[in-house]
Homo-oligomer: A and B are copies of this chain.
Amino acid sequence: MKKIIIASTSAMYGGKYLEYLQPVLQEHFKDCSSLVFIPYARPGGITHEAYTAKVAETFTAIGINVKGLHEFDNPAQAVLDAEALFTGGGNTFLLVNELYNTGVMQALEKAVHAGTPYLGSSAGSNICGLTMQTTNDMPIIYPPSFKTLGVVPFNINPHYLDPVEGSTHMGETRETRIREFHVFHRQPVVGLREGSWLEVKGSAIVLGGDRHARIFRQGQEPEEVAPGADLSGLK
């Protein structure tokens, strides 16, 4: 049975890393004593080692031992063997490129479908969707494909941002960008505001956190759904 947390962000403003999610993660990973961390997205260009050390600190506090995927000779096998998995945020293009180049993408899909508890935040959440085509990141690396895990039958837009009231900036709003996506693609997009997450248990998909999410469907007006909403019919 799939067991996934898809989080908009790893931290809330003024909060520590994963702090706001801690009770949820304790429950999510309650049967696990170890976790494999996928540091490939490297926010701000941080090294795999430094990123893993930061994550380990957080998980040690809830009794879970962390190892970075870069420490394994065979990363695809390590993912298949993992007791639990976490893909951190950073740059989605870089992440997806590394996942393909190491053969981890396929292993990850297999492991998550087989029920290995998975946590994604930001870029690590983008890859849960059908494609990474609703990422907010810059294309700093050219990946072999934009196709991602598809462990949910729609796309994710993490760090979803409402238009800034009174803004005079002429660059596209997030909503405009997602509408442009829907000129070419039919899958829905879930705009996850910071502090929100999706909890997937088998075929159930529930909106967690205390904020509404914004659902974009091709050819329809966006819909606001409340915390606790059941998104299992969305596709």
Q: Residue on B with the closest CB to A193?
A: B169
In the complex, are the beta carbons of B133 and A177 less than 8 A apart? no
Q: Residue on B with the closest CB to A144?
A: B142
Question: How many A residues touch the partner, as a band?
Answer: 35 or more
With both chains docked as a complex, state the minimum distance between the C-beta of A219 and any C-beta of chain B, in angstroms.
Answer: 11
Measured between beta carbons, the chain B residues less than 8 angstroms from A141 are 184
Measured between beta carbons, the chain B residues less than 8 angstroms from A132 are 139
Measured between beta carbons, the chain B residues less than 8 angstroms from A57 are none
Q: Residue on B with the closest CB to A159?
A: B171
Binds B, one of A9-17, A58-66, A102-110, A199-207: A9-17
Give the interface of A toward B (CB within 8 A).
Answer: 9-14, 42-45, 90-91, 93-94, 132-142, 145-146, 158-159, 161, 164, 168-172, 176-185, 194
Q: List 25 A-B contacts (CB under 8 A).
A: A9-B170, A10-B170, A12-B170, A13-B168, A43-B172, A44-B176, A44-B179, A45-B179, A45-B180, A45-B182, A45-B183, A91-B180, A93-B139, A132-B139, A134-B138, A135-B138, A135-B139, A136-B138, A138-B180, A139-B139, A139-B146, A141-B184, A142-B145, A159-B170, A169-B194
